[in-house]
Structure 1
């Protein structure tokens, strides 16, 4: 059996597959990895197209979303490593080998990601993962190369050496299958968005390490399945972020962090109103309502050690008040 399964989850996206899947087939070494399309119950001709390229297909009976879709697919695979790859990612020659080599050399590392640039503006980092993910103590995620909506140009300013990060992006993340399964995989309550950050937080709490390996580089279109302008995306991002905080924060910090987040999320809703985006403002309130109704039974034991790996300043204040809009300008 090959060491790696490159798993691409997709639903009714033949046009995206036609644009991006050929690069994966062309640049993934066949002796190292199987390419697997996990089809989320598509009704278009996605499956036929993937098969025509020689790609293996796992047909799921319905659209399970990102989290359950990957969980169901990975249950059927026995490879030592799984690479979760979005269907709108264009890979480059030699993209997989540096990721695999780093994992083989560092058994304490459970996940790595490549450098990710934006396929729409290739000179810029991409929103979803850039050059590795971080999070501040209030639960706001950001990246080396991307803070909020500011996408830096990649001018080699962060070097080419692997760096430890807090989270790796589900757009392109290589994981050890055993650690994925032991930790319970992606939380299916999330459906989509930030579920990989939650998983990475749990790995941090378990004492594992995660890295970005910039020698590997891919290009991500981003937002192909759900546009950034869609209020449902706003709902998922706010609700899932709250779920993640409740699950992973230490008991001593959970209540007051969530209380402060309530105030900040109300402020975010007001900003949406001022920007004439009433549906996004309503999505924030719907997110809090859904969060309150969601069971806390799956809460994990948040550890102070993992909390201490969070950025100790407020990224909101550093960005909006102090004008620190690039990663290298952030106060340590």
Structure 2
């Protein structure tokens, strides 16, 4: 086990899981992160349903324990990601070396949330969309990238349209800027991708969800981790 996280509950409402990490992180085929206890904006009430110890795809940077040797072996956090998605990127790079990521409910932290940037901040929207694209592009399996990146761009278009229809035009603009920034950095991202491919050793994608969690949430109306198709996870639990 290279890294692990505790149960993360909301400081403001200790009965509920907190957005940043909840009970362990996962990622769908298009690079959208989600957690046990939190899918997009919906957080679950803690009723002991995740009182266990198990492997996850990524562990939250809100409270993260990492073996120093593993942390330094993969180069630590990518400082260019600045406070959003950097722990997902780190965990994915660890997984590419065959290392495991875990969750335990034997420890609990109460997280304030939105400390670096408020949840309603347009800047947060920019960083979430841009950094997610960077992390997906440089880490995704070679044969999957073109189709999944194209699908992701379409989904982000709908996300921007949703912001606009809800009266959050500034967030729509940040989605546009995020893609502009991503494509401006694409040559560097692809160089990083090639470097990481050379360093890859026995990659382990346990916990990747081979469906669209956006479709499951916004079209099918699935709000809880338990609603998801367990057979769609890499190495189903």
Give the TM-score normalised by the residue count of structure 1.
0.65
Q: For 1:302-313, what aligned pairs fall within 5 Å after superposition?
A: 305-307=203-205, 309-313=207-211
Q: Give the Cα–Cα distance (whole angstroms) in 1 for the partners of residues 150 and 78 of structure 2.
A: 23
For each residue in 1:184-205, what CA deviation from the matched residue of structure 2 results, as whole angstroms up to 9, or x when unmatched?
A: 1111221220011001011111
Change (3 A) 1:162 1:240: same
Partner of 2:235: none
1:239 equivalent in structure 2: 130
**Contact persistence 1:123–1:153 (CA under 8 A):** yes
Please name the residue that 2:184 is paired with. Answer: 293
Aligned to 1:134: 26
State the match for 1:267 in structure 2. Answer: 158
Contact between 1:163 and 1:213, CA under 8 Å: does it hold in 2? yes
Match of 1:273, SS state, is: helix
Question: Which residue does 1:181 correspond to in 2?
Answer: 72
- 1:318 paired to 2:210: no
Give TM-score scaled by structure 2 length. 0.90
CA shift, 1:278, in A, is: 1.1
Q: Secondary structure at the match of 1:234?
A: helix
Residue 156 of structure 2 corresponds to residue 156 of structure 1: no
Deviations 1:32-59 (Å, cap 9, x if unpaired)?
A: xxxxxxxxxxxxxxxxxxxxxxxxxxxx
Unaligned runs of 5+ in 1: 1-108
Query: Which secondary structure does the structure 1 equivalent of 2:208 belong to?
Result: coil
Higher strand share: 1
Structure 1 residues 192 and 169, CA gap change in structure 2 (3 angstroms): same
CA contact (8 A) 2:56 2:206 kept: no
* 8 A Cα contact 1:133 1:143, kept in partner: yes
How many equivalent residue pairs? 223
CA RMSD of aligned residues (A): 1.5
Residue 144 (structure 1) aligns with? 36
Secondary structure in structure 2 of the residue aligned to 1:208: coil
Task: Tell me how far apart the structure 2 counterparts of residues 179 and 284 of structure 1 sit (CA, whole Å).
Answer: 34
The one of the two structures with greater contact order (alpha-carbon pairs below 8 A, sep at least 6) is 2
Q: Which runs of 5+ in 2 are unaligned?
A: 231-237
Shift of 1:323: 2.0
Matched with 1:222 is: 113
Counterpart-to-counterpart distance in 2, 1:317 and 1:292? 25
In structure 2, C-alpha distance between the alignment counterparts of 1:291 and 1:260, rounded to whole Å: 16
The 1:245–1:172 alpha-carbon spacing in structure 2 relative to 1, beyond 3 Å, is same
Distance in 2, matches of 1:287 and 1:303, equals 31
Greater Rg over alpha carbons, structure:
1
CA contact (8 A) 2:57 2:206 kept: no
Higher helix share: 2
| Partner residue, 1:203 | 94
Match of residue 122, structure 1, among 10, 14, 37: 14
Whether 1:111 and 2:3 are equivalent positions in the alignment is yes
